Amino acid sequence: MSEGPVRIPDQVTAPGEPLPATPQEPRITGEITILYERMLKQVRSWGITLLFWAVLSLVMSGTLSAPWGILLLLVGGASFFLREAAMFAVYAVTLVWAALYNVIGGSLLWLAFGGLQVYEAYIVFRDFTRYRQVEADYLAYRARTAPQEPPPPQRAARVFPVAALALGILALLGEIGSWLGLAAAVLGTAAATSLRPWLFELRWNLALLGLSLGLASFLSKHRAKLLAAIGMVLSTLGLVDWVLLMVLVALGQPGA
């Protein structure tokens, strides 16, 4: 899904600053326009690919993971609504999340596959930093040359911080509820919970989504930085039991 390194013109300005009016401006702005359109195509490609794997995961839930499919469905669907550079940060975090599951799988094959996913996440995150600059320059150019025309919609600045905070709150409440249920079962004041494991996995995936949205918003320098930061912290706290579980799984493997 990543099409290799993105080349940025040497004359690119800082985010939010207008492009310089020079004899080379047509060439500069032409290159930025091409790169911006390339970004939109890549976001669309990510959306299609993630939706494909989401449907496959939901249909083949006996073999694949239905909660993972729900996460991919949300991220893939958002790719058609939020066609912005910030989505690449979400893709990168999602790839790292998948890599962690594969690395913990134990076998050499899954370990190698997880390593490839980490490398792909690095490439995608690098694209995020570059496309973020291209997006800023393109919007500045549009604002200066065509102020009467509406700019491309920038919805992530409004959606990401609020969504990160909401998912973070849900993640923390789920975390607290899980520990309270476990304590009640241990103390004998309540029957052991019959919740299926996929409900816990779904909660972890939603917490991961909250973390990725908050991180993407914070790195994109959206105005609601406080909401994004709180969402990241709460989502991270909602993953405490997942971290403990993964540690126990790793310690329980042969040779550990």
For the chain, state the CA radius of gyration.
21
Same-domain pairing of 176 and 97: no
Same-domain pairing of 53 and 131: yes
Same-domain pairing of 26 and 138: yes
> What would the mean pLDDT of 18-34 be, rounded to a whole number?
60
Number of domains in the chain: 2
Residue type, 89: A
Lowest mean pLDDT among 23-32, 68-77, 162-171, 236-245: 23-32
Q: How far is CA 155 from CA 29, 78, 82, 151, 229, in A?
A: 23, 11, 6, 12, 18
Residue type, 32: I
Same-domain pairing of 119 and 203: no
Domain with 113, as residue range(s), is 1-154
pTM above 0.85, yes or no: no
Determine the Cα–Cα distance for residues 103 and 212; give it in Å rounded to an integer.
20
Express each pLDDT in 108-128 by its tens digit.
887 888 899 999 999 999 999
Confidence tier at 16 by pLDDT (50, 70, 90): very low
User: Is pLDDT of 104 > 70?
Assistant: yes
Q: So what's the pLDDT on residue 21? A: 45
Determine the Cα–Cα distance for residues 204 and 181; give it in Å rounded to an integer.
17
> What would the mean pLDDT of 72-99 be, rounded to a whole number?
96
Q: Higher pLDDT residue, 6 or 34?
A: 34
CB 71 within 8 A of CB 57: no
Tell me the CA end-to-end span of the chain in Å, nearest whole number: 36
Same-domain pairing of 177 and 232: yes
Confidence tier at 102 by pLDDT (50, 70, 90): confident
SS3 256: coil
Q: Higher pLDDT residue, 8 or 94?
A: 94
Who contacts 155 (Cβ-Cβ below 8 Å, separation ≥6)? 81, 82, 84
Determine the Cα–Cα distance for residues 159 and 29; give it in Å rounded to an integer.
29
Express each pLDDT in 183-236 by its tens digit.
776 776 555 444 567 788 889 999 999 999 999 999 999 999 999 999 999 999
* Domain-terminating residue out of 154, 172, 196: 154
